[in-house]
Structure 1
C-alpha cells in the first residue's frame, strides 16, 4: 500500500527576501499578530537543503556551508508537496541554508532571528558560528544574532535539525512512528514548518506582554517584560476602541511593573459578539524617545468554573466543540496560506460548532488570530503523544516546551482551556513507573496554573491526576448504549479506569471525544481508511445516528459540553464532517441544525 497524495495542489511561486510582504513569498503575513512590529524581513521562500541520514553533517562541517544542491520551499516541511520535496520516509537529520542580509536601516538595534516552529531539535549557524540551539517541535523561539552579523553584509545562515519520533523522549502528536500512515497517525513533519523571520529590536525593548482581561473590575491588566532595563525607562499602554483611545497608562519600567487600564463602557468578547480592543505598547528611554512599539489586541471576556459548570462572561456556557487536528493535504502541519486557517474556522461554524478542541498539535498564532476575530472558542493542546509520561527525559523535554507554548498563546481570548496531555495510555498501573506518570502530569498542571488563569484539562480522556475539567472519550455508536454509559452508578460518574485515575470531583463534565462516524465521500483515501464503528449504509442513516448520539449527550444533566470527532478527514481517518480537501460531504443545513442545539439553562 502506498500513501496517496492530496487531491489538489496549490502552486506557489518562490520568492526572494524583501522588506515588504510580497505575493511571491509563501505565508507572507506577519506570524505574531498579538506582538507585531512594523519592521521585519520574511525569510520564507527558496532555501537549499541536504538530508543527513547518517547524522554525519557535523563531521563534514556542513555548518560552514555556502549552499546545498537541492531546493526546498520554507516554511513547508520536506514531507509536504508544498515544500517541493515530498519525501515521506524518516528523516533523522537535515540541513538548511540561505543567504541573509541585514538592512542598513536597522543599524543601532539588535537583530532577532525568529522561528515559528522547527521539529524537533535545531541548531543555528551564521557563517559557520553557532548562534544557538533549541529543543521542542511545537513552540516558537528566537535567537539574538546581533554579534554575528554586520549591516549590509551577506551572511550564510545554516540550520541543522534532528527528529526522532520513535524515541519516546519527544512529543510528536499524530506523526506516524511507522513508515505508513495508520490508525490515528499520519504523515510526519520534520524541520522548519512555520515562518522564519528577522526583526530589529532595541536593546531595552519589549520581550513579551501578558494581557489579562478583568471583566468584573472592568479593566485590562498588562504585565510587560523587557529584554533589558535602563535608567529612566518608561512603558506606556494605550487601549483603543476603533480609533478612539478609551484607556491609557504609563509606568516606570521594571520587572514588577503592571499597567492597569480601566474601561468605562465595556464591550465584551464572545462567540455572539467577538469585539476586540486594539492595544499598543510603547517603551520610552530617559529622554522620552520611543525606542520600541508593539501592536496587539485583546478581548474583554471572563472564563471560569464554579461547581460543575463552565462560565463565559459570568453565564453558564455549553461548549459545542469539534476535534480539529490541523492537517492539510498539501502542507501537512502547515496551512498553505492564511486564508485556509480562516476557512477552517468558518467551515466549523457553518456546521453549528461554537469552537474546537485543537488536537495533538500546537496551532500557529495566525489560527488563534482568526479565532479571536470570528468568535471561536478553543482548547489549547500540544502534540503530547510520543513523549512517554513514564520517562524522566520526556518530562525534561516536555515541560519547558509546554511553558513556552502557554506563554506565547495565553493572550488569545478565544482560548478558554488548556489540555497538555491526551490519553496517557502508557500509565502502567500501581507501580514505580505509574508514580512517574502521575508526577509528570501533576507538575505540568501546577506549572500551567501558575502561568495562566484558564481551567486545565490535565489529560483528555485518561488518566486524570489533578484536573479542573473532567473529560471522557466514548465512541459508542449505539445511542441507547451511550445513554447507559452516562448513568451514575453507586455514586460513580463515568471514567475509563478507577484503578488508574482519581475519581470525579464535581468539576464541569465533558465528553471531549465522541462520534467519529465513518463516511467516505467518493473513493477511499487509502486502503486502510477507517472510522469508528460500522459505517452507515445511507446518508439518512448517518444523519439519524449523528442526531441521536448528540441528543443523548445533550440530555445528560451534568454535561457541560461535547467535542465531536472530527472536522475533516485526515488521510486514512475518514470520519470528518468534511473531506480532507475541505469539500463538503453532507447537507450542511442538516448538520448545523444538529450541532446548534443547546441544553436548557445554558447559553
Structure 2
C-alpha cells in the first residue's frame, strides 16, 4: 500500500517540477508585457538577445546641479521618487508631471545580467535622452552623450559584476541656452503658448540592454537600386578580421526565400545582392523584404534581423519621381505630440494610429516637424506605405554660437545614420523657418545652411534635401514655401505665374520673412510645405478668429467655413501644374494650437470622408 501511494504521487511531483520550470518564464513574460512600450524599439536592426528596461526607476531632481559633487552616481540612496520610464517627468504618464524647468534629473535602477550573456559584449541603448546624458554602472562612468533627440549606446561589459548591478543616469537640460536643438519646447516658464509646447526633460524613449558577440555588426547601410533590381549593402563591423563571412538571407512578405548569398566581407566595403523578380515598394504596395544578416568568425555567429524596401526617389526638372513616376506629395504636418506622453507616444499602437488617421484624411505622407521621430514610427510608415520627410528640431539654437552648430551637426548626422535605411523617408530637412536668424547674421546663416546641405548629401546622396523649410534658402533640391494666407484670391494670385521656365516670377517669401536673403528660385520642385493652419474647435464654432482672445492658437476662419476654405486652398495647389506637393497644417491640435484635422486626443473634427476627397484629389503635375 505504501509503495502504491508513492507511485500515485509521482505525476504530481512531475507536474510540480514542470511548474517550477515554467512559472518563472510566465512571470518574466508577463513582466515584459506589463512594462510601458515593451516592443523592440529598433525593428530594422534587431537581435533576439535584448532586455527592455522600461518601467519604474528611482528618480530625483537636482535643481542645484550638485549631484555629482554629492556622489549620487555611486550612491543613489537620496533618489526619493519613482518615475515611469520612458516617459519624461513633465508628462502624466511618468507619474511625476512637473512642468517647471529642471536643469538636471537623475535616474537609478538595478540590473541583473542573464547567465547566457557571460560571453561577448553587453550594450545599453537609449532611444533618446534630453540633452547631456551621463551613465554610470556600479559607480563607474560608462559614457556621455550630447543630443536630446537621437539614439545612442554604450558598451558596459567591463563595468558589470556578478549578481545585482547599479545603473545611474544623469540628464542635464537647458533649452534657454540657445546651444541645443530644442524644437518646439517652450523656453518660458509658461510651458506652453503660441506654437511652443510643454518641455521634455531626461529619458523620453525606450532604454534596453543588448548582448552581442565580441565581433559583431555595428550597422548595415542598405541602398535600394530599383533600376537594376538590387540592394547595395555596406557593413560596418566591430572587431573585424579577414576570416569573416556574412550570409545575407532575403525573404518576401510571405516568408518565401528570395535570395541567400554568402560573401567574405570587409569593414565598410559595399557589395551587391541582385533580386530575382524584384518588387518595388510604393504607397500603393508597401512591399518589404525581410533580411537576415549572419556574421561568422571563429565559429561565433552574430545574427541580426532587418528589412528593406526597393524604391527610388529622384528629381527631374520641377518634378519629384517615385519609382520613375511623377508624384504629388500630399503631406500633413505632424509634430508628434500626445496629451499624456508629450513627445513620447503612449503605445506602439498610437504611432500606427496617427499614420492611419492621416491616410484616412487623404494624405499620402507627412512632414515630420521639429522632432526626431522614434524608429517604431518609421517602421509603421514603411509597413503602411506612408511617405515622410525627416527633420531635425533645430529651433532653440542661435547661429551666432559655435557650440550650437556643433550640436546641430552632430545630432543631424546621428539622425541620418540611424534612419537612412527606411524606404518611407524620401527627403531630409535639417532646418525650419530660419528667416529671423538669417536677418541677425546673413553670412553665418548662409554658411550654416550650405554646410548642412553638404553634410546631408555626403551622408546620403540618394534623397533630395530641403535646406530650410520655408522662406529662406541657400542651397536646396526642393524649393519650399510657407503660406498661411486665408484669402482664396490672394492665395491663388501668388502662384498663378509660377513657371520653371520663368523662375523670376516665383513667390519666394513674404517681405517680413527675409526673401532678399534667399537664393532665387531656379526651377526645382516647388512645394508649399506649410499652408492652411485654419483655427477651429467645435465648442468655438461661430466665434471670432483665434478663439476670441483665448490662448488657443490658429489662423483664420470659424467652424462653418473651414471645410470649404480648406477645399478651395487645396484645389489651388493641386490644379497648378508647376507645384509638386503641399503640407497641410496640421494632423492634430497640439495643446493650445487648435488647427488640426483631428483634436489633440485624436477625435474627428471634420467629415473625414470629405477631407479624403479634398486632399486626395488628382494633381495636375502627375498627369
Q: In which range does the TM-score fall when normalised by the shorter chain? A: over 0.9
> What is the rounded CA distance, in whole Å, between the counterparts of 1:592 and 1:424 in structure 2?
32
> What is the rounded CA distance, in whole Å, between the counterparts of 1:231 and 1:526 in structure 2?
70
* 1:530 matched residue in structure 2: 553
Q: What are the superposed Cα offsets for residues 453-484 of structure 1, whole Å, 9 maximum, x if unpaired?
A: 11000000032110000000000001111011
> What is the rounded CA distance, in whole Å, between the counterparts of 1:103 and 1:504 in structure 2?
59
What residue ranges of structure 1 are gaps of 5+ in the alignment? 1-15
Specify the SS of the correspondent of 1:275: coil
> What is the rounded CA distance, in whole Å, between the counterparts of 1:259 and 1:568 in structure 2?
43
TM-score, normalised by the number of residues in structure 2: 0.91
Note if 1:330 corresponds to 2:340: yes
Note if 1:577 corresponds to 2:593: no
Note if 1:565 corresponds to 2:585: yes
> What is the rounded CA distance, in whole Å, between the counterparts of 2:213 and 2:548 in structure 1?
51
Q: What are the superposed Cα offsets for residues 111-139 of structure 1, whole Å, 9 maximum, x if unpaired?
A: 00000000111000111111110000111
* 1:6 matched residue in structure 2: none
> What is the rounded CA distance, in whole Å, between the counterparts of 2:283 and 2:224 in structure 1?
16
Note if 1:162 corresponds to 2:182: no
Task: Please report how far the alpha carbon of residue 537 of structure 1 lies from its aligned counterpart in structure 2 after TM superposition.
Answer: 4.8
* 2:613 matched residue in structure 1: 593
1:378-417 matches, cutoff 5 A: 378-417=388-427
Note if 1:49 corresponds to 2:44: no
Q: What are the superposed Cα offsets for residues 141-190 of structure 1, whole Å, 9 maximum, x if unpaired?
A: 0000000002x421111000111111110000000011221111000000
1:308-323 matches, cutoff 5 A: 308-323=318-333
Task: Please report how far the alpha carbon of residue 390 of structure 1 lies from its aligned counterpart in structure 2 after TM superposition.
Answer: 3.0
> What is the rounded CA distance, in whole Å, between the counterparts of 1:132 and 1:507 in structure 2?
44
Note if 1:95 corresponds to 2:106: yes
Note if 1:493 corresponds to 2:506: yes
Specify the SS of the correspondent of 1:437: helix
> What is the rounded CA distance, in whole Å, between the counterparts of 1:485 and 1:133 in structure 2?
50
Specify the SS of the correspondent of 1:442: helix
> What is the rounded CA distance, in whole Å, between the counterparts of 1:184 and 1:31 in structure 2?
29
Specify the SS of the correspondent of 1:269: coil
Larger Rg: 2
> What is the rounded CA distance, in whole Å, between the counterparts of 1:389 and 1:250 in structure 2?
48
Task: Please report how far the alpha carbon of residue 525 of structure 1 lies from its aligned counterpart in structure 2 after TM superposition.
Answer: 13
Task: Please report how far the alpha carbon of residue 290 of structure 1 lies from its aligned counterpart in structure 2 after TM superposition.
Answer: 4.6
Note if 1:61 corresponds to 2:42: no
1:151-190 matches, cutoff 5 A: 152-180=162-190, 181-190=192-201
Note if 1:473 corresponds to 2:482: yes
Contact residue 330 and residue 336 of structure 1 kept, 8 A: yes
Contact residue 419 and residue 458 of structure 1 kept, 8 A: yes
- Going from structure 1 to structure 2, the CA distance change for 1:21 and 1:314 (only over 3 Å counts) comes to farther
* 1:227 matched residue in structure 2: 238
Q: What are the superposed Cα offsets for residues 3-42 of structure 1, whole Å, 9 maximum, x if unpaired?
A: xxxxxxxxxxxxx995787321100000001001111110
1:117-516 matches, cutoff 5 A: 117-150=128-161, 152-180=162-190, 181-241=192-252, 242-286=254-298, 289-429=299-439, 433-452=441-460, 453-488=462-497, 491-496=504-509, 497-516=514-533
- Going from structure 1 to structure 2, the CA distance change for 1:107 and 1:58 (only over 3 Å counts) comes to same
- Going from structure 1 to structure 2, the CA distance change for 1:183 and 1:601 (only over 3 Å counts) comes to closer
> What is the rounded CA distance, in whole Å, between the counterparts of 1:84 and 1:527 in structure 2?
29
TM-score, normalised by the number of residues in structure 1: 0.93
Answer with 552-561 or 181-190: which moved more.
552-561
Specify the SS of the correspondent of 1:260: strand
> What is the rounded CA distance, in whole Å, between the counterparts of 1:530 and 1:515 in structure 2?
13
Specify the SS of the correspondent of 1:132: strand
Specify the SS of the correspondent of 2:448: helix
* 2:81 matched residue in structure 1: 70
Contact residue 121 and residue 155 of structure 2 kept, 8 A: yes
Contact residue 87 and residue 204 of structure 2 kept, 8 A: yes
Task: Please report how far the alpha carbon of residue 428 of structure 1 lies from its aligned counterpart in structure 2 after TM superposition.
Answer: 4.1
Specify the SS of the correspondent of 1:483: helix
> What is the rounded CA distance, in whole Å, between the counterparts of 1:385 and 1:206 in structure 2?
34
Contact residue 525 and residue 572 of structure 1 kept, 8 A: no
Answer with 277-286 or 29-38: which moved more.
277-286
Task: Please report how far the alpha carbon of residue 249 of structure 1 lies from its aligned counterpart in structure 2 after TM superposition.
Answer: 2.4
Task: Please report how far the alpha carbon of residue 199 of structure 1 lies from its aligned counterpart in structure 2 after TM superposition.
Answer: 0.6
Task: Please report how far the alpha carbon of residue 254 of structure 1 lies from its aligned counterpart in structure 2 after TM superposition.
Answer: 1.5
Contact residue 229 and residue 253 of structure 1 kept, 8 A: no
Task: Please report how far the alpha carbon of residue 65 of structure 1 lies from its aligned counterpart in structure 2 after TM superposition.
Answer: 2.4
Contact residue 17 and residue 42 of structure 1 kept, 8 A: no
More helix by percentage: 2
Q: What are the superposed Cα offsets for residues 496-519 of structure 1, whole Å, 9 maximum, x if unpaired?
A: 243211011111110000001111
Task: Please report how far the alpha carbon of residue 56 of structure 1 lies from its aligned counterpart in structure 2 after TM superposition.
Answer: 1.0
Task: Please report how far the alpha carbon of residue 526 of structure 1 lies from its aligned counterpart in structure 2 after TM superposition.
Answer: 11
Contact residue 482 and residue 549 of structure 1 kept, 8 A: yes
Contact residue 390 and residue 426 of structure 1 kept, 8 A: no
Specify the SS of the correspondent of 1:63: coil
Q: What are the superposed Cα offsets for residues 362-393 of structure 1, whole Å, 9 maximum, x if unpaired?
A: 00000000000000000001111012223211
Task: Please report how far the alpha carbon of residue 434 of structure 1 lies from its aligned counterpart in structure 2 after TM superposition.
Answer: 2.0
Contact residue 17 and residue 41 of structure 1 kept, 8 A: no
